[in-house]
Structure 1
Amino acid sequence: MTDLAPDAGYGKKNEKLKAALIQHKPLTAKGLSERLFGLLFSGLVYPQIWEDPAVDMAAMQIRPEHHIVTIASGGCNMLAYLSARPERIDVVDLNRHHVALNRLKLAAFRHLPGHADTVRFLARPDTATNIQAYDLFVASKLDAATRDYWNTRGLTGRRRISVFGRNVYRTGLLGRFISAGHLLARLHGVDPSELVNARSMREQRQFFDERLAPLFDRPFIRWITSRKSSLFGLGIPPQQFDELASLSAEKSLAGVLRQRLEKLTCHFPIRDNYFAWQAFARRYPLPHEGSLPVYLQAQNHEAIRNNAERVHIHHASFTELLARKSAASVDRYVLLDAQDWMTDQQLNALWSEITRSAADDAVVIFRTAALASILEGRVSPILLDQWDYDAKQSAELGVQDRSAIYGGFHIYRKKA
């Protein structure tokens, strides 16, 4: 199910997103940086989510009576959670392109004939018949705004939906950033796609140590990773860049990026890490090569398809949606890394609504660019004192996050 806000027309600009991102005056260095990021972030950013839903589900322990509120992003998390058959999932996003993508992915599960068709549509590149499948099974089932969005033609004359006949995961801001990273590596004599040929974790480690790690010592790469705007394509806003750069004496992210790429490359078998496949091969693995995301695995297809109507998608902010919820009505909250971008005022408004709407055993999960939680010292003690921080499980599950992008994974539990 989709809930259309009055301003959800896809032809309109992301005014809500702009308001959330801009914190400084335009004719300042920070203000210009925020506006450039906002311009880039106003398009499609994440065709695939880069938070590991398996870690989320281990932290949340979803039960059938649960009501979940999550940020949309690429939609993989929402669909993964649905495999646990919760009573309701509210999905929010300020980015209208993410809203349209989530509505399309949900409709694909509901209306494509079977599991193989859904995998073909969402996971297999260069499949022209996906467009025919969309026209035949999905388009007429979408709400008018979402259908118009995917039928809109760009400068090339192609409809937006045509990306599903090529490779949707090479599109969006992050997709283009990864393409640029591949180009930069090849200009230095390294082909990142060769990693997926590794036959063991030992070979993965060897590839990283001998081919990838030395790239971060190259002067140009060290220079480019010291520029905020060069990393906007990774979805790192100015606020997150400053937090991460503070970890380095050089104020460069080269060391941080090297460390996180090392985790992505070396800490998990390539067969089991579809995030690494997207980063290095630019696609999902075939059945003989490795495993698909949770939501695309055959054993979860029926649960997702049969419970799709329990999902409600909103073009709204997290705080805005929670303000419309009854007290003690929400069991699980998934904030992704959105708090890294927020001012103290925004954080306190958010946690005020979380605390008011939280059920007795509520759980909040989120990620941070740096290692530590950002709430202490910024959110009112009156609010935080109503929550327990599960430091032990946060650390344990953070290590297991296969996407390897974030520094910290955090779990807060409502006090009895």
Structure 2
Amino acid sequence: MTDVAPDAGFRKNHKLKNALLQHKPLSRDGLSERLFELLFSGLVYAQIWEDPEVDMEAMELAEGHSIVTIGSGGCNMLAYLTRHPSHIDVVDLNPNHVALNRLKLAAFRHLPDHETVVRKFAGERNRTNSRNFDRYIAPNLDASTRAYWNRRRIDGKRRIAAFDGNFCRTGLLGRFIGAGHLMARLHGVDLTEIVETKSLRDQRHFFDTRIAPLFEKPLVRWMTSRKSSLFGLGIPPQQYDELASLSGGGTIAPVLRHRLEKLTCHFPLKENYFAWQAFVRRYPQPHEGLLPTYLQEKNYPAIRANADRVTVHHANFTELLKVKPAESVDRYILLDAQDWMNDAQLNDLWGEITRTAAPDARVIFRTAAEKSVLDGRLSDALLDQWTYHAGRSEELNKRDRSAIYGGFHIYERKA
């Protein structure tokens, strides 16, 4: 199968624009959408913010499965390779994420060992990463991806130089987290001090005494009442409205407080690299805690061996599925993309999912709010062909260490 999108999209991202813009340009919603589109046109996620362990358990992912997933930061599609799927098709509308996914795959294929891979994606202040790119990775990249990472930034350095520092601090989300740390320090709180906690009880005390009071500060309440202030989280206007409706006060401050509470208090810090990214702005050292699934040494051999089983496309989910044969896909990972869709787009997507779904296929996705986006929106003709595992979805949502979503949902194709 040929790629469904040309690499010319690395320069002009019309696909992303078509997905985001649903209102007239000069309307209030239209202006908000266009600001979000402008911000979202660069690199957004240096790492993915969905828990891959929850994903694989929910999918009952097994050897030989065919997978279609949204790429984002690329961490999870690499984690899925530990289960030896037959093939993974990765799609993303953001060409920066396409380039990052292709880079990560090439790193596992061609860097000399596990230590070098970890140094590239979890290290800090190591200029050998750029040199290793030139020596091992660049000669094995497609021309568009190689040109992307060699392109000069506004400071004159190549894009690949971002890996010489702490790459996870880059991208829109990385800068947003940095701004959150600055806001906390303006109110006398150093979020990195969470590393001094020794237990869940200590983490709870840290949240109650240091983090929770921030949400009562006038500046924080004002900022969280504005849609644009949360664009750095990758929250589009549609998702903001859904979240604000949960609090009933025109602000998502209560929702953010609740989800930060889960991130801070529900999982031991040593086991939650998402909390390290949020509060310490780096991954833990080996003596401090776990690395992401795809960077753990025990998983390196399988990922390296299976990296050739992945194809990365600059395309949307529906676009890719339209060129796939019937009953050819076993597992679908939609992240939170459906929160952005109107009813027509949602039904078009699920029409293709249903057509291409193999017997016992599973679909997983997350939502900003708690309820499934399919309720009351997907046609009965399509919805009746799927079983919703409500109890299992709720159970696994509680175990999602990223803690930023309201709902996690599992649908299985009926026999």
* TM-score for the superposition, normalised by structure 1: 0.98
Hey, what's the Cα distance between the residues in 1 that align with 2:250 and 2:5? 43
Q: State the match for 1:271 in structure 2.
A: 270
Q: Is the 8 A contact 1:72 1:93 kept in 2?
A: yes
**Does 2-11 or 17-26 show the bigger shift?**
2-11
Q: State the match for 1:389 in structure 2.
A: 388
Structure 1: unaligned runs, 5 residues or longer: none
Q: CA deviation at 1:7?
A: 2.9
Letter in 2 for 1:310: R
Give CA-to-partner distance per residue, 1:4-42, whole Å, 9 cap, x none.
555323652210000000000001000000010011001
Q: State the match for 2:338 in structure 1.
A: 339
Q: How does 1:341-360 map to 2 (within 5 A)?
A: 341-360=340-359
Q: CA deviation at 1:249?
A: 2.2
Q: How does 1:12-411 map to 2 (within 5 A)?
A: 12-411=11-410
Hey, what's the Cα distance between the residues in 2 that align with 1:151 and 1:304? 26
Q: Secondary structure at the match of 2:359?
A: strand
Question: Aligned pairs, how many?
Answer: 415
The percent of aligned pairs where both chains have the same amino acid is 67
Q: 1:194 to 1:79 in 2, by over 3 A?
A: same
Q: Is the 8 A contact 2:4 2:319 kept in 1?
A: no
Q: CA deviation at 1:168?
A: 1.0
Q: Secondary structure at the match of 2:242?
A: helix
Q: CA deviation at 1:366?
A: 0.1
Letter in 2 for 1:404: A
Q: CA deviation at 1:399?
A: 0.2
Letter in 2 for 1:379: L
Q: Is the 8 A contact 2:5 2:315 kept in 1?
A: no
Hey, what's the Cα distance between the residues in 1 that align with 2:287 and 2:62? 33
Q: CA deviation at 1:155?
A: 1.5
Hey, what's the Cα distance between the residues in 1 that align with 2:6 and 2:325? 23
Hey, what's the Cα distance between the residues in 1 that align with 2:12 and 2:187? 39
Q: 1:360 to 1:267 in 2, by over 3 A?
A: same
Structure 2: unaligned runs, 5 residues or longer: none
Hey, what's the Cα distance between the residues in 2 that align with 1:148 and 1:227? 37
Q: Secondary structure at the match of 2:251?
A: coil
Hey, what's the Cα distance between the residues in 1 that align with 2:325 and 2:193? 52
Q: 1:5 to 1:387 in 2, by over 3 A?
A: closer
Letter in 1 for 2:100: L
Hey, what's the Cα distance between the residues in 2 that align with 1:332 and 1:197? 40
Hey, what's the Cα distance between the residues in 2 that align with 1:117 and 1:61? 31
Give CA-to-partner distance per residue, 1:180-215, whole Å, 9 cap, x none.
000000000001111122111111111000000000
Hey, what's the Cα distance between the residues in 1 that align with 2:118 and 2:5? 33
Give CA-to-partner distance per residue, 1:290-348, whole Å, 9 cap, x none.
01111111111010001111001100000000001100000000000000000000000
Letter in 2 for 1:103: R
**Does 115-124 or 332-341 show the bigger shift?**
115-124
Q: CA deviation at 1:376?
A: 1.3
* TM-score for the superposition, normalised by structure 2: 0.99
Hey, what's the Cα distance between the residues in 2 that align with 1:127 and 1:61? 38
